[in-house]
Structure 1
C-alpha cells in the first residue's frame, strides 16, 4: 500500500490596523500635494504623524549612516531607532507585534526580492501539502464504506424481489377470486339441475315402489284362501316413509362422499402419487368445505409440489376452521419463509408455540428468523428453548454457535460448535465456522486444524482451500499459502479468488513477474472485476512503473466508477508524483463515494421496515 498524504485545511491569519498608527508603508512616503483636499493644518498633522512612524525613523537612521555602503547595519539602526522613539510617545507604543513583523518582512522584501519569492513559493507548497494531508485524513475516517454499499445494494435487491413476490401473490389472489366466482355461478346452476333430476328420479322411484308393492300383495301366499290373514298395505309400507325425505339424503350423502375422497387421497399420498392425491383432497374439500383434514393434506401436497402460494391458502383455511391446530400454524410459517414473508412467518410460529410450547422445531425456526432480523439475543433464547426440549439436535447447536459468533461471544460459540461436532462430526460447515471463531480469538494454529478437518470432508472445495490459504498468508507462511491456492486452482482452474490471492502472496515474496502473470490470469477469468486491476496497479507501483500503475487504476475506475479504493490509490500515487491538482481531485472523489456509502448504511440501519423486508 502506498503511503497516503493527509490533508489539513490551512487559513492564514489576517491582521487589521485599528488606528492611524497601524498603517503599513509599501513605498516611500510621498508628501501630500496642494491639490489634495486637505487643509494646510491637516497636511502638517498628517506629515507629523507619518514622520514618527517606525519606518520613517528607520529611513532617517539609514540616512545618518552615509558613510556605509548598500549593506545595512540593522543592529545600529535598532539602537538609533530606540533612542529616537520616546517612551512617552503613546501613539508609537500601541504598535502591535503583527505590524512590526509585516514591516520587517517589507524591508526584507525590498532588500532581497529573491528571498521574498522563495518564501511565497514555500508557503504555496506548504498550503498544497496541507490540502492533500486533509484529503487523506478524510479518507481514513470513512475507510470501510465500500462493503456497506454492497450490502445496501443487496438489501435493495431483496426488497425489490419481495415487492415482486407480493405483486404476484396479489395477482394470483385476484385470479383465484375470479375463478371462484365463475365456479360458484356454475355450481349453483348445476345444483339446481341436480335438484330437479333428483326430484324426478325420486318420483319415479316412488311409482316403481308402489307398483312392486301392489304385485307383492297379489302374489302373497294364501291370498285367495284367507283374506283376513293378509297384512294391511300400510303395514307392508310401515318401514318406509310416506314421502321421501329428500333433504336428509341431500345433506348426509356429500359427507360420506367427502370422507371417501379423503381416504382415497391419503392412500395415494402414501403411494407417493401426489398429483392424484391432490385431486382427491380437492374433491373432498369441495364436497365438504369444513373438512379441515382435506385442506390440511391439500396444503402438505402443494408444499411437496413447490406451489407455496396455494399451500398458504390451504393452511389459512385450516386455521379458520380449527384455530387450535398448531401443525397448521407451524406449516403455514414454513410456507411463509419459502415466500420470504418473514415477519408473517414469525407470527405464525408464535401462534404454534402458544398452542404447543414443547415443539423444538418451532423454537428452532423462530430462532433462525430472529437471527435474520439481527435480533440475536432473542434468537439465542429460542435456540436455548429448543435445546431444553431436544438437546441432541445438531442443527440447533450449530446455529446457536453462529448467533454467539454474531454477538462476538466466540468462546461460547466454539463450545456450541464442539457440541454439534460430538453429535455429527461429518459436516464441513461446522468445522468451517469453528475455524472462523478461532481466528477471531487469534488461535491460528487451531483454526488451521479446523480448516483441514473441513477440507478432509470436502477436499474439492476451492472455497475451503482459499480460506486456509488466506490465513497462512496472514501468518506469513507464504509457501504453504501458495500450495493452498494452487490446490484450489487444481480443483477449479477458473477460480478467480485463488488466482488473485496467489498473486498477492507472490508480491510478498517479491516475485513480481510471476505475480503480474497471475493477475493477468485473474483478469482473463473476470475481465469486469476492478479488484484485479487495483492489485495490478499496486504491483506496477512497486516496480516504479508509474504510468502503467495510473493506467491500471484508470481501468479499475472505468469498470467500477464507484470504486473508492481505486480513486484513493490513484490520488496517493499522483500526490507522490507531485501532481497535486489531480491528486486532490481523485482523493476528493474517493471521499464523496465513501460519504455516500456511509449515508446509505445509516439510512438502511435506521429504516424500521428494512429488517422485516429481508
Structure 2
C-alpha cells in the first residue's frame, strides 16, 4: 500500500507538538518542523497556538532565519508592520539573497497600500526564488489592487505557465478577462490551457460560463458536460448546464441536469425552482406545482419561489390563490415594483379596484415607469372617481412619455369629464396628431363625453 511519507511525518509532528502542550513535556523539533506547525495554525486561524509554537521554536533554534521569517509573517498578520520591518532589515543584513525577505517586504508595502513598491520587491524576489509561480501570483494580486487588470492578467498567465495546476490563478485570469470585457479572448486562452491540461474541470467550467455569457448555449452545454465527465460530483457544472439547456428550450434534459445536483448535494431552492419552471414549460402542471411548493418549503424566505407559485396561478386564472401567494412574496420584499404590479393585476382581475390602485401606485413608487403601469394606475383611479389624482399621474407619466397618444386620449377624456373643455380639446388635438386611428380609445374609456360638440368637431376634422 502506497503511503505519503511526507504527510505522515507532518501529521506526526503536529501530534507530537499537541501532546507536548498537554503533558508539559518538552520535545525537540527541527526548525522546519516548527515552521510547518506555525503556518498550519496560522492557516487554521489558531493564532495563540501559532505563537506558542513560534516561541518554543525560537527557544530551540534562536538563529533560524526561517523561523524569524515566520515571525515576520505573524507580525504582518497582526498589523505590527514597524516591528516586522525592523526584523526584516536585520535578516536582510544576514541573507540579502533570500527571496522570502523580499516577499515579506512586499507584504508590508501592500498592507500600507503602496502596491507599486510591493511589485518592485516581488520582481526582486523573482531573481532569487525557485517558486516563480507563487511570486507571479502575488504580483497579480498587487496589480489587482492597483486596478491594472492587464498587468494582473499577464502575471496570472505567467503563474500558470510555471504551475498549470494553480486553480486560484486560473480563476483570476478569467476574472481579469471578464472585467476587461474580453470574453472571446478568455475562451481562446482557455482553449490553449485545455490543450495543455485537458482534465481541468475548472477550465471547462469557466469556458462554459464564458460561452453562456456570449449566448453560445450549445458550446456552453458542451463545456459543462466535459467538466462533469471529469468530475462527476461537480454540482456547479450540473447547475450551469441546466441553465444553458433551458436557454436552448431542452427542458427535459435541463430537468435531468438539475436533478443531478439534488442527488449530489442537499436540495437547493434554486434547483427546485428551475425544475418547477421546466416542468411548467413542458406542460406538466402537477409536477411544476410540486417543485414550486418544495422550493418554498426548502427556503420560506425565497420571494422568487412565492412569485413562481403566484405566476402559476395567474396563468391558471385562479386569482384568489394568486393573491395569497403574491402577499407572501410582498411580506419578504415589499419594495419590489414587479411584485406590486402583480398584486395590482390580480386585484384588478378580482374587481378590487382600491387594492389594484394601491398596487400600481406602489409599483410606480418603487421604480416601475413602464407606460402600461402608469395607464393601469390611471384607469383604476378613474374607476374609483379620483379624476384629479388620475390627471396628476398622467402629467407625471407624460414627462417620461411625451409622445404617447394613450396618455393624451386619457387626459382629454378626464378633462372633458370634469367639464374643462378647453384643456380637453387641447389634449384631444395632441392625441389625434400623434395617432388619429386610435381615437376609439376615447370612446372605449369615456363613452359619456363622446356626444360633446367639441369632440365631434375635432373627430370630423381628422376624419377628413
TM-score tier by shorter-chain length is 0.5 to 0.7
Deviations 1:445-494 (A, max 9, x none): 10111111123334342222222223334444333222222212212222
1:564 — aligned with what? 369
Quick one: distance in 2 between partners of 1:591 and 1:454?
46
Residues 360, 376 of structure 2: 8 Å contact kept:
no
1:294 — aligned with what? 100
Residues 209, 220 of structure 2: 8 Å contact kept:
yes
Query: Which runs of structure 2 are paired with 1:1-400 in the superposition (5 Å)?
Result: 260=63, 262-265=65-68, 283-288=87-92, 290-298=96-104, 309=113, 313-320=117-124, 322=126, 326-327=132-133, 328-337=135-144, 339=145, 341-342=146-147, 344-351=148-155, 353=157, 357=161, 359-360=163-164, 361=166, 362=169, 365-400=172-207
Quick one: distance in 2 between partners of 1:588 and 1:475?
42
Distance 1:350 1:434, change over 3 A: same
2:37 — aligned with what? none
What is the TM-score of this pair, normalised by structure 1? 0.46
Distance 1:520 1:555, change over 3 A: same
Distance 1:261 1:405, change over 3 A: same
Match of 2:336 among 517, 529, 536: 529
Residue 391 of structure 1 aligns to a residue whose secondary structure is: coil
Quick one: distance in 2 between partners of 1:387 and 1:453?
25
Quick one: distance in 2 between partners of 1:520 and 1:356?
52
1:588 — aligned with what? 398
Residues 436, 447 of structure 1: 8 Å contact kept:
yes
Quick one: distance in 2 between partners of 1:458 and 1:308?
42
Q: Does 1:436 align with 2:243?
A: yes
1:20 — aligned with what? none
Quick one: distance in 2 between partners of 1:425 and 1:516?
42
Aligned-residue offset at 1:397: 0.9
Aligned-residue offset at 1:376: 1.1
Residues 431, 450 of structure 1: 8 Å contact kept:
yes
Aligned-residue offset at 1:434: 0.4
1:420 — aligned with what? 227
Residues 332, 345 of structure 1: 8 Å contact kept:
no
CA RMSD of aligned residues (A): 4.1
Quick one: distance in 1 between partners of 2:272 and 2:331?
21
Residues 572, 583 of structure 1: 8 Å contact kept:
no
Aligned-residue offset at 1:536: 0.6
Q: Where do 5+ consecutive residues of structure 2 fail to align?
A: 1-61, 403-464
1:497 — aligned with what? 304
Distance 1:307 1:430, change over 3 A: farther
Residues 302, 311 of structure 1: 8 Å contact kept:
no
What is the TM-score of this pair, normalised by structure 2? 0.59
Larger radius of gyration, structure 1 or 2? Answer: 1
Quick one: distance in 2 between partners of 1:526 and 1:324?
57
1:447 — aligned with what? 254
Residues 340, 363 of structure 2: 8 Å contact kept:
yes
Quick one: distance in 2 between partners of 1:585 and 1:469?
42
2:270 — aligned with what? 463
Quick one: distance in 2 between partners of 1:477 and 1:296?
64
Residue 384 of structure 1 aligns to a residue whose secondary structure is: helix
Distance 1:282 1:438, change over 3 A: farther
Quick one: distance in 1 between partners of 2:273 and 2:303?
10
Task: Point out the more displaced range, 468-477 or 545-554.
Answer: 468-477
Q: Does 1:512 align with 2:315?
A: no
Residues 139, 152 of structure 2: 8 Å contact kept:
yes
1:484 — aligned with what? 291
Distance 1:323 1:266, change over 3 A: closer
Residue 288 of structure 1 aligns to a residue whose secondary structure is: helix
Distance 1:491 1:400, change over 3 A: same
Distance 1:479 1:281, change over 3 A: farther
Quick one: distance in 2 between partners of 1:440 and 1:476?
17
Q: Where do 5+ consecutive residues of structure 1 fail to align?
A: 1-258, 593-614
Distance 1:297 1:405, change over 3 A: same
Distance 1:307 1:483, change over 3 A: farther
Distance 1:489 1:335, change over 3 A: farther
Distance 1:417 1:308, change over 3 A: farther
Residue 351 of structure 2 aligns to a residue whose secondary structure is: coil
Residue 544 of structure 1 aligns to a residue whose secondary structure is: coil
Quick one: distance in 2 between partners of 1:412 and 1:350?
26
Higher RCO by CA contacts (8 Å cutoff, separation 6 or greater): 1
Distance 1:525 1:352, change over 3 A: closer
Residues 307, 325 of structure 2: 8 Å contact kept:
yes
Residues 465, 485 of structure 1: 8 Å contact kept:
yes
